[in-house]
A and B are shown apart, each in its own frame.
Chain A
Amino acid sequence: MTALESFQHESFQHTVVDDPDRGYVIHELPTVDPDRRITGRDKPRADAGAKVTGRAIYGTDVARAGMLHAKVLRSPHAHARIVSIDAAAARRVPGVKAVLTRAEAVGLQPYGTMVKDQPTVAMDTVRYVGDIVAAVAAVDERTALEALGLIDVQYEILPAVFDVDDALAEGAPVIHPEPPFGVVPGYGDGASAVLRPRDNVPYEFRYRTGDPAAWQRCDHIFTDTFYFSRMNHMHLEPFVTVAEASDDEIEVWSSTQSPFNLRKELSRIFSLPENRIRVHVPLLGGGFGAKNGPKTDPVAIRLSQLCGGRPVRFAMTTEEVFLTVSQHAAKLVVRSGVTSDGTFVARESLVLLNGGAYAEHSPPVAEKAGYRMPGAYRWDHIDSVCKVVTTNTVPAGAMRGFGGTQATWASERQVDLIAERLGLDPYALRVKNFKALGEEFVPGESGIDSDLEEGLRVVADAIGYHQRTPAESAGPLRRGMGVAVGVKDGGGINKPAMARVKVTSKGDVILNCALTEMGQGGHSAMCQIVADILHTPTERVTYARIDTDNTPFDQGTNASSGVAVMGQAVRNAAETLRRQVLEWAGDQFGFDPTRAELDDWTVRGDGGDPHPLFPRIMEIFGNTGFEFSADGFYKARNDHRAPLEAPCVFWEIGWAAAEVEVDVETGRVEVLQLAVSGDAGKVISKIGCRGQDEGAAVFGLAQALFEEMRYDDGELLNAEALLYRVPLAEDIPERFTSITQEQGHGAGPFGAKGMGEGGMLPIAPAIAQAIADATGAQLTELPMTPERVYRAIRRSGEPR
């Protein structure tokens, strides 16, 4: 099968079965046989052995002969012009091999996703506390630090802005006076974007559909403002790169989620052809979105170039990771119109994302935050605008949820506010307005591939939501429950993936694809898919190490695309290989390959005798034998009717239900029960699915209640492990349940969908609704700290 054939083979074959009154098409979705067997679905993950013995090799473990060590000097100012840099004394320190300041960075191109505004080291201006000003490579980190201590930098302080309102205010300082190079991707029906519509806004996305006349039909229109806090990814393995580079060639070992994306960015930064750049990816010690795009790479590479190609290792400390990339804080203004019976009609929203000092990954996050504002519901009219706002804070980028977490917080919270105002039950209001199974998310989109009501029922039942009793009023403790659902388009937009499967003469299988392993269990799941198709034990399949010279192309391990997109490429490769082998064997042994079976490197014609393949391969090819090899490809079809130019591959949906106990005297919230559920479509790896939902839910739990990067007038107060509070085992509710649904409508292999982000989306709104259920207090700002809860209770009148 050619790549093009496999493309068609895997494209959606949705059938239009209905065209309901409200203008949305309902697609008939494929539904897989629930008994479909998946090899080893409950077995331990393939990487267990390496990880429980400590033998796993991460980016931090990579060492090269003669390796130097890099450290950097970071800006102490939020916004300042660099008047002068004197690094002469640093260069004279024994053991220093290279010093990188703006003088050595002339000609390097800036980077960033869609908007290219971030330099390798600061050129004229520093734009946040932590911006890299200079770097040194030396025989060890101590020497590098000593040299950096001697660099004299004169700054002229500029006014700075830290939040979106200040950055958009009249007379605000312009953080990037020169418009950077940027690109707007192609958009389909209803979607559009503009670069730099005004100062301090590098990217603005808008999505509109339906007739604005719908507002006329609304009995009630509500406008509410919500605030979303900012977390750090806090992956335990820091950003780390080992680089060996000359002016002609670059080779890096990088802790990156997206090796080919990194290669492309490096090609631009260093003006080198992509085939002169080779990116190796070891195991990642967590990513959660942070490890998309260049991080430690440009500095390590430039330093290596400056010292004659010696390997340079640049590993950040945890404190530096905090100063490199974060989630987006956001202000979300949502205006929704409904009829008096609670039917949703029209929604308009303005999302302002605090993008920090550089574009980083903000443009696509803005696209998603804006696009995901409809939530799980049917609206006749949507008008959604999302602006990235540049501020003098840490650059914000990709993070688990990717705009969806922000959108879900506002969207779901407003559903609860509407329910309260109309005197409706928040559960019933959701169900009433849910999209049907198969119904387009918006016109031209693929159909929602999960039964939304079924998922809500699952989590509600798990905590006894429908049996809850009115809040007790004795003593300071009140109990309440809440439910929420978050929806995001999964699988990346227009994302192609490729894979190669090879089988040695002996039947040992090598899978070669660029899905990076950062904890999600992707390598294990991909190997299982191959093993299932080749009918061989999972242990016989190994996942080849990733490097961009040898690994088939992939856009990156993000957007929960592993199983649904790469999984299809892997499946195609394995199926093609199986067909090749059977055809060759049919020829050799004289049977019809279409009726033959492959079973652990033995073939059997239609009910005939088994033929081991190894002896025949040796007989025919001789010497060291042969290796069968096949490629697979997958990509969703482009379609201009789809707002984002291709229909979404699958819908990643997270449902949650929470029970809380609120101390109305202190505002302290304890989560007594938390149930989270995702729809895997079809489970490839049970522990993998469970791990993704639970891990994501705990991110959401922390964001709901306490975890945040805390700024005080621009100063980041808790940018280190002791003061930055991440959840510990003691923070997890004693009754914490995850339920992996298998509704069977996914577009991935065997009906699978992606997992990983959905579980994060509904947690904070579910907890907020539980707090409201317990106390009457409606929170609109994250995190829901004790003081915020206490004040909201006071505002809402006497607690019930």
Chain B
Amino acid sequence: MRAQALGAGMLAQSQSAIAPFRLHRPTTLTQASALVAEYPEATIAAGCSDLVARIREGERIERLISLQRVDELREIDESDGTLRIGAAVSHHDGSTHRIVRTAIPGFAAAWSSIATVRIRYTGTIGGNVMAARTRYEMPLLLGALGAEYDYDATGRLLCHVRVNTAGLRWFGYERSMRPTATLALAVRAAPAGGIDVRAVAGSEYRPGYTLTAHAPGDDLRDLDPSALAATLAEQLPDECADHTGSADYRRHLVEVLTGRILRAAADDGVERTPTP
């Protein structure tokens, strides 16, 4: 559905009514970037699965730069403690990739649990992030990991997602309460000593909230899950209330879920990230 321009009502945009658009199919990142620079109004997409949904919701596209043929955007590598994932890597390819599974097994497992089998083959990490839907889960996972996004010179074309794996001790994701609450949580050795916990709490209708805490020591077994969970949960603002849960309840859930993830981390108590 989309709003009618004159404010007279709502129109059901259907697929057969998609307006014609100009299509560009670059085969290299350089070409793609040049096109993005040339056509600042152009829409950029790889798998197009979210794009079609957005068109149905009223987005009008006049020019599409398809990244489907840009193989460079499907590369995955890791060097110097940085995992780099191309923006057009599909959920399936990324979550089953040897490098990802070795670098951050918890992240690979979480990534393989989102969406559905069918969507995992088509949907891409970049598309999931750029769609900016509160319902989509990659921003939560990547947010907890403190991922950084590499754009091209125009600043519009997402090229890679970078995750610092150095010092990463644990990554967990809890989605059993979805869509009321999801929680991604990463535990890292803090640069100045101690342990940093970074969590992102998501829900169907609200963007993820980033919650952080610091704990002394460097052994996961010494963590105090209950205290950390309480510290993280109290950071959730009142605006987190949505139609699936009140703020109080969601804070409570975050406390329960973070407590469980941290206990799992503490129980495990071993270095999970074999960073070279």
Contact = CB atoms under 8 A, between A and B. Distances in A.
Find out whether A and B make contact in their complex, taking CB atoms under 8 A apart as touching. yes
Interface of A: 69, 71-76, 129-130, 133-134, 140-142, 144-145, 148-153, 315-317, 319-320, 665-666, 668, 710, 712, 717, 719-720, 722-723, 725, 728, 785-787, 790-791
B67 to A, nearest CB: 23
B17 A787 contact: no
Given A72-B12, A74-B10, A785-B244, 15 more contacts: A69-B16, A74-B12, A75-B9, A75-B10, A142-B16, A142-B19, A145-B14, A148-B4, A148-B11, A317-B13, A666-B257, A719-B1, A785-B245, A787-B246, A787-B249
A285 to B, nearest CB: 17
Given A666-B253, A717-B243, A149 B14 contact: no
A320 to B, nearest CB: 5
B6 A152 contact: yes
Interface string B168-181: 00000000110110
B17 A141 contact: yes
B18 interface: yes
Contacts of B249: 787, 790-791
Contact of B12 (A129, A151, A316, A712): A316
B190 interface: no
A75 B6 CA distance: 12
Contact of A787 (B5, B180, B256): B180
Contacts of A130: 10
14 contacts: A69-B16, A74-B12, A75-B9, A76-B10, A133-B9, A142-B16, A152-B6, A317-B14, A317-B56, A668-B177, A717-B205, A719-B1, A786-B177, A787-B245
Contacts of A144: 17
A76 B180 contact: no
Contacts of A133: 8-9
Contacts of B177: 666, 668, 786
B229 to A, nearest CB: 11
Nearest to B253: A666
B19 A74 contact: no
B16 A723 contact: no
A726 B19 CA distance: 31
Contacts of B132: none
A142 B14 CA distance: 8
B8 A153 contact: yes
Q: Which 3 A-B pairs have the closest CB atoms?
A: A153-B8, A142-B17, A141-B17
A786 B180 contact: yes
B18 A73 contact: no
A103 B96 CA distance: 61
Interface string B1-45: 101111111111110111100000000000000000000000000
B153 interface: no
A574 B239 CA distance: 67
Contact of B1 (A134, A319, A717): A319
B6 A149 contact: yes
Nearest to A151: B8
B263 interface: no
A319 B256 contact: no
A459 B259 CA distance: 39
A243 B22 CA distance: 35
A403 B245 CA distance: 29
B150 interface: no
A665 B255 CA distance: 10
B96 to A, nearest CB: 20
B227 interface: no
B204 interface: yes
Considering residues A130, A145, A712, which has the most beta carbons from chain B within 10 angstroms of its beta carbon? A145
B272 interface: no
A785 B177 CA distance: 10
B221 interface: no
Contact of A722 (B9, B135, B176, B205): B135
Nearest to A152: B6
Contact of A723 (B14, B17, B135, B180): B135
B115 to A, nearest CB: 11
Interface in B225-256: 243-246, 249, 252-253, 256
Contacts of B270: none
Nearest to B204: A723
A722 B9 CA distance: 22
A76 B17 contact: no
Contact of A141 (B16, B245, B257): B16
A786 B11 CA distance: 35
Nearest to B3: A76
Contacts of B253: 666, 786
A152 B8 contact: yes
B256 A140 contact: no
Contacts of A668: 176-177
Given A720-B1, A722-B53, A786-B180, A142 B8 contact: no
Contacts of A723: 135, 204
Contacts of A75: 9-10
A382 to B, nearest CB: 37
Interface in B33-87: 53, 56
B2 to A, nearest CB: 9
Contacts of A76: 3-4, 7-10
B3 to A, nearest CB: 7
A129 B4 CA distance: 13
A140 B18 CA distance: 11
Contacts of A722: 53, 135
B6 A141 contact: no
Contact of A71 (B6, B17, B53, B176): B17
A319 B17 contact: no
Considering residues B7, B9, B11, B53, which has the most beta carbons from chain A within 10 angstroms of its beta carbon? B9
Contacts of B17: 71, 140-142, 144-145
Contacts of B179: 725
Given A717-B243, A787-B245, A73 B10 contact: yes
B5 A149 contact: yes
Nearest to A316: B12
A776 B170 CA distance: 37
Contacts of A148: 4, 11
B243 A141 contact: no
A73 B180 contact: no
A719 B10 CA distance: 13
A665 B256 contact: yes
Contacts of B19: 142
Considering residues B4, B8, B204, B256, which has the most beta carbons from chain A within 10 angstroms of its beta carbon? B8
Contacts of B246: 787
Contact of B9 (A74, A142, A720): A74
B12 A319 contact: yes
Considering residues A72, A142, A144, which has the most beta carbons from chain B within 10 angstroms of its beta carbon? A142
Contacts of B53: 722
Nearest to A730: B116
Contacts of A717: 205, 243
B180 A142 contact: no
A149 B244 contact: no
A546 to B, nearest CB: 27
Contact of A73 (B8, B14, B252, B256): B8
Contacts of B11: 71, 73-74, 145, 148-149
Interface in B104-161: 116, 135
B173 to A, nearest CB: 16
B30 to A, nearest CB: 35
Contacts of B176: 668
B18 A142 contact: yes
Contacts of A141: 14, 16-17
A140 B14 CA distance: 11
A656 B260 CA distance: 34
A316 B1 CA distance: 11
A73 B4 contact: yes
Considering residues A133, A148, A150, which has the most beta carbons from chain B within 10 angstroms of its beta carbon? A148
A204 B180 CA distance: 38
B12 A71 contact: yes
